[in-house]
Amino acid sequence: MKGHRLVKRTLLLMLCGGMILFTSYRYYQYSADDLVDKSYSFNKGEKLEFRIHYGLINAGEAVMQIDNEPAMINGKSCYKIDVFGRSTGMFDFFIRVRDNWGTYLDSQEFVPHRFYRYIEEGKYRKNEIVDFDHENNKAIVSRLGKKTKTLKRKVEYEIPTNCQDLVSGYYYLRTIDYNKLNEGDVIKVSGFFDNETWEMNIKYLGRETLKTRIGKIKALVFEPVMPENEMFDGENSIKYWLSDDENKIPLKIKAQMFIGALEIDIKSAENLQYNFSSLSD
């Protein structure tokens, strides 16, 4: 029994590390507003699919999708964006994961008006909705029942100006004009997640060509400086790649964790805002 619990705990840490890595380190608000280029690198209907794996072992899959129709929140037109993560293969046998993270992102100002997450990881459940009051720099967190999703209580927190959430911040980063950055420059970002305001530095490493399932792609390379934690091995343990074009789609994430190396690779990209093509072999 102890061996079974150890395997289950290890698989959960590996898989959830992948799900967290897929989203959480990208949720911060970019502080250098002079680098923002609101030329819309994404649009409604965009769908990106990813494979989460440890070497040759598949652990899970994830989908990032923008709804086909705009949504109205607080009288503002928003993109409704969802991230779905699930376990696969032996991971699904030992620890079933079915997560849904989402945001309503203002299509003009690129700030979130509402964030939600519905978490199902083994027996663990967490459901909550966060409403952002940017005028008063407040985040109102509604904690919901684990099964019924009925309101249990609300808690209010102070947040920074133009604060981003876990999902919206990633799309905000896709509005940055990276041609204004030099190798080694640091992007300072901050945001709100899990009842706390976070800050992080992301180092821009330059450009390279990356081989993916959708072809060889010119890519921008970044390295978040990770704070000391129990999951990732050192402050330079993560790298991620965005396509070096007008779409700026995520191509790959690679992380060195204490329990091994994890990778997230793009499998497909549909309904992109701009034409997309890979380099010839």
The per-residue pLDDT for range 119-142, each reduced to its tens digit, is 998 888 999 999 999 999 999 999
Mean pLDDT of 207-211: 95
* Contact yes or no for 12/174 (Cβ under 8 A): no
Question: Is 30's pLDDT higher than 70?
Answer: no
pLDDT by residue (tens digit) across 38-80? Answer: 566 898 999 999 998 888 888 899 999 999 999 999 899 999 9
Question: Is 225's pLDDT higher than 60?
Answer: yes
Mean pLDDT, the chain, integer: 81
What distance in Å separates the CA atoms of residue 262 and residue 15, rounded to the nearest whole number?
A: 9
DSSP helix, strand, coil percent of the chain (3-state; round to 5) = 15, 50, 35
> Quick one: which of 192, 204, 280 has its CA closest to 241?
204
